[in-house]
Amino acid sequence: MTQTIKRVRIATRKSALALWQAEFVKAQLEHFHDDVTVELVPMSTQGDIILDTPLAKIGGKGLFVKELEQAMLDGRADIAVHSMKDVPVEFPEGLALHTICEREDPRDAFVSNNFKSLDALPQGAIVGTSSLRRQCQIREARPDLDIRDLRGNVNTRLAKLDDGQYDAIILAAAGLIRLEMPERITAFIEPEVSLPANGQGAVGIECRIDDEVTKALLAPLEHTETRIRVNAERAMNRRLEGGCQVPIGAFALVNDDHVYLRGLVGAVDGSQMLRDDVTGPVADAEKLGIELAEKLLAQGADKILADVYRDA
C-alpha cells in the first residue's frame, strides 16, 4: 500500500520573527510525522505595510493576521502561525486557534549599548517602545525618562538603537532569543516592573475548524501548561475588550494545579495604574481571567480604556 503524503501550507508574515516561528512549526510537524510535507506561504499584512504610524492610531484589531486568515478561508493555506500576543481574542467564522506551543521567556527585555538596566539610565534618557503597555509601566517606574515611539521589526528596532537614536529600547525577550540574539538582552525586566502582554512569548497555530486531517497533525505540538496560562490571560483581555495595542498587561503562572493571574490597566501618561490578581484551580483558568477583568473594571479600567480609544 502506498502512503499518502499529507501537505500542510503555512501562511506566514515575512518578518524574521514570523519566518522563524513558521520554520519552527514546520520542523516540529516534520519531526512528529514522516508522512507530511510542509510549505511556507509568505505574505504581507497591513501591520507590516503601515510602518510610519504609531500602532495605537492605526486601530483595528488583528492588523497582523487578517491576510493570513483570508488565505486559510480561501484554501490557499492550511494553518497560520502567530505570536499569541498579536492574535485577536475573537476569530472569524470557520477558523479557530487549535494549538498553543510551549512558551519562550515571556518577559520584556531592556536593551542598551551604554546602560546596564532601567534603573541605571540617567535622567531624561531616551527610551524607545511603541507599546502603550510598556510605555505606561516604564513611565511609572521612571517618570523622568523621555519615552519615544519605536516601530519596525526586531532588526529595525535594534538598528535604530545602534544608530544612537535611543539610549535604550524595550522589546520582548522571546523575539531576541528566537532570532538567536540573546546577547542583545542587557537585562530582563521582571513582571513586577513590566507585566507582559497576554500571550507574550507563546506561538499559536490557527486552522480551519473542519480540517480534521491538519488538526490531527497539530496535536503533538500542543503544550498544556502554556495553553492554561494563555487561556487565563486572553480571557482577561477579552472581558476588557482590549486588543494588543492597549495599555493592558496579563500574566499567568501555573503551580501544581493552580493558576496565579496578574493584570494591569494603565493610563498612558502613567497617572493611573490599576493592578490586581486572582488565583484558583487550573480548570477555572478562563473564569479567573474574567473575574480579574471585573475586578479591574470595578477599579475604573473602563474609564481608562475609553480614554485610550478616544485619544487614539
Ligand X SMILES: NCc1[nH]cc(CCC(=O)O)c1CC(=O)O
Which residues of this protein are in contact with ligand X, per CB under 6 A? 83, 85-86, 171-172, 174-175, 200-201
Of these residues, 78, 86, 108, 211, which one is catalytic?
Answer: 86
How far is the C-alpha of 162 from the C-alpha of 197, rounded, in Å?
26
Describe the strand order of the beta sheet including 168-172 as a list of residue ranges: 146-148, 126-128, 168-172, 108-111, 187-189
Active site residue 34: no
Give the up-direction half-sphere exposure of residue 283: CA atoms within 13 A in the CB hemisphere. Answer: 0
Write the DSSP string, 45-107. -HHHH--SS-HHHH--TTTTTHHHHHHHHTTS-SEEEEEGGGS-SS--TTEEEEEEPPP---S
Q: How far is the CB of 283 from ligand X (least distance, A)?
A: 26
Residue with cell 497576554: 198
Q: How far is the CB of 3 from ligand X (least distance, A)?
A: 35
Q: How far is the CB of 231 from ligand X (least distance, A)?
A: 16
- Of the pair 171, 308, the CB lying nearest ligand X is at 171
Terminal-residue alpha carbon distance, the chain: 61
- Of the pair 15, 272, the CB lying nearest ligand X is at 15
Nearest to 292 by CA among 245, 243, 219, 232: 232
- Of the pair 128, 289, the CB lying nearest ligand X is at 128
- Of the pair 159, 298, the CB lying nearest ligand X is at 159
> Grid coordinates representing 219?
496535536
- Of the pair 83, 231, the CB lying nearest ligand X is at 83
Q: Which amino acid is at 189?
A: I
Q: How far is the CB of 159 from ligand X (least distance, A)?
A: 14
Please, are residues 184 and 116 in contact by the beta-carbon 8 Å criterion?
Answer: no
Q: How far is the CB of 100 from ligand X (least distance, A)?
A: 12
Give residue 152's region: left, alpha or beta (phi > 0; psi -120 to 50). Answer: left
How far is the C-alpha of 116 from the C-alpha of 32, rounded, in Å?
42
Query: Catalytic residue numbers?
Result: 86
